[in-house]
Structure 1
Amino acid sequence: MARILILGGTGDMGIILIRKALDAGHIVTVYARNPTKLPEGSLFPLQFESISTMRVDIASHESIIITKGELTDEDSLRHAIRYTHAILSNLGPGTTPSHFPGAHPSNLPLSKAYSLILRIMKEPEVECKRIILLGTVSIPDPHDKRDMAIWTLVQGVKWTAYNAYADEVAIGETVRREGEGIEWTIVRVPLLTKSENEAVVAGYVGEPKMGTYVSRAGFAEFCLSELVRREWVLKAPMISSK
């Protein structure tokens, strides 16, 4: 059992992550700008049938701690992080096309948030030194090989939602540059699906076993598994569905 802080927990993928962490027996702190989005006495809001029939009262679960705050609020973040064992972050930019209402901001907000989070984690009195975070294949890695399908996917995001692309790239740079002393893992995903298939393969772009899709449930399962197995510390694997 571990004390886990989940960031980005109010969307569909974040709620899957919360449920899996609870099922594994962990104590979960959810740090959210709008905690009212967490299900309370309602059907678990997933699309696949095997879980959508389960009633989950996340907001009042005995192993849930809910903390309201912004990613720019240093004191609130420090309070949420200080006594946890690990952070599982589901934070990611939207892909609304640039210049459309609701498009991702151009000031790299997620990269800046991770810079603050890493700085807090380095403080001597902060117990948490492990973070597993969502990334995308827009983040390059020296182990990657050529892959036309992934290249096309990345270029599509770059040209239609540049701000989101730029923030993703900056996240990778920030974690690698400022993550000294922190056990980080960037879990890079391609296209996300709503499939119930949790089986994934992990590796690098261009390897024969890697595909172009991964399920949200597969991402959550990989994060919880990596928390225990620690196979990808200080690495940025790509995952895809089997």
Structure 2
Amino acid sequence: MAGSKILVLGATGPTGINVLRELNYRKRATIVYVRNPSKIPEDLKLSPFIEVIKGEMDNLTLLSTAISQSCAIISLLGPTIQNLNIPPTIYADIYRSSVFPLMHEHGVRRILAMSTGSVSRPEDHWSFMVTVLKLVVRIFYNVAYSNVLAIADVFEREAASLDWTVYRIAYIPGGDDEASWQSDRNDGKTFVGWIGAPGWSIQQKRGALARWLVDAAEGGADEWIRKMPAVSRLAGSEKKVN
């Protein structure tokens, strides 16, 4: 039976730390499953709302413990241009062999998984910026490109019984310190839809993305279940009032 906490995977990068700050701000019971807890800021590790479990993604015993306590998963697993010495399907393989089976075992249905504009959907509109970025990534960072496509494919083909949303991002500036998160979470309204559609833009601040992800994990994006929307700052929107 599913638990009541939100599980965060890939939480040691800047966006993941923003997600943890958002969850802590809301006093939301959270589990963080990480390989290197030292990358998590001390104030978050000491929070009574955040439990840190140290483990590798192939340690099914520890990962099972984390997933068994969760009601939803926010995943930021994915390639970075700083680490391209990886197999081309490593993240898809993690979902396929570890995450999906354990979600089924423990009755956890909801998962939000990160992707990028390198993944195309039939509903997308043509965008010059995305076309150029996709070409650059495909040529110079092909391992990252292959991994992103594989993530989308494994969700579409092998997660039909789960309530998944693969959220696609592009440029996500912003820091992960508390002041940056607090400012950026209010940076305009969030667009959720198709690349190139009216209102879509190329960027979203990390803090604002974290705010949307937590909203979505708590039931705020159920209309995007089994879909792959682009998430960005709504073009022309003003800074929110907290």
TM-score by length of 1: 0.85
- Is 1:113 the counterpart of 2:94 in the alignment? yes
User: What do residues 176-230 of structure 1 show as CA deviations (whole Å, max 9, x unaligned)?
Assistant: 1111211001110011111822532111012122111111112111111222222
Q: Answer yes or no: is the 8 Å Cα contact 2:24–2:44 preserved in 1.
A: no
What residue is the counterpart of 1:95 in the other structure?
A: 81
How many residues are aligned here? 219
Q: 2:212 aligns with which of 219, 222, 242?
A: 222
Q: Answer yes or no: is the 8 Å Cα contact 2:167–2:230 preserved in 1.
A: yes
Q: 1:240 aligns with which of 220, 232, 242?
A: 232
SS at 2:195 equivalent: coil
Q: 2:197 aligns with which of 203, 207, 224?
A: 207
User: What do residues 144-166 of structure 1 show as CA deviations (whole Å, max 9, x unaligned)?
Assistant: 12222111111111111100010
Q: Extract structure 1 runs of 4+ deviating beyond 4 A.
A: none
Root-mean-square deviation (CA, aligned residues, Å) is: 1.7
Q: Which of structures 1 and 2 has the larger relative contact order (alpha carbons within 8 angstroms, sep 6+)?
A: 2
Q: Answer yes or no: is the 8 Å Cα contact 1:93–1:104 preserved in 2.
A: no
User: What do residues 59-96 of structure 1 show as CA deviations (whole Å, max 9, x unaligned)?
Assistant: 12111111111112222211110121000111121124
Question: In structure 1, what residue type is equivalent to 2:165?
Answer: T
TM-score by length of 2: 0.85
What residue is the counterpart of 1:8 in the other structure?
A: 10
Q: Answer yes or no: is the 8 Å Cα contact 1:137–1:238 preserved in 2.
A: yes
Higher helix share: 2
What residue is the counterpart of 1:18 in the other structure?
A: 20
Question: In structure 2, what residue type is equivalent to 1:222?
Answer: W
- Is 1:147 the counterpart of 2:119 in the alignment? no
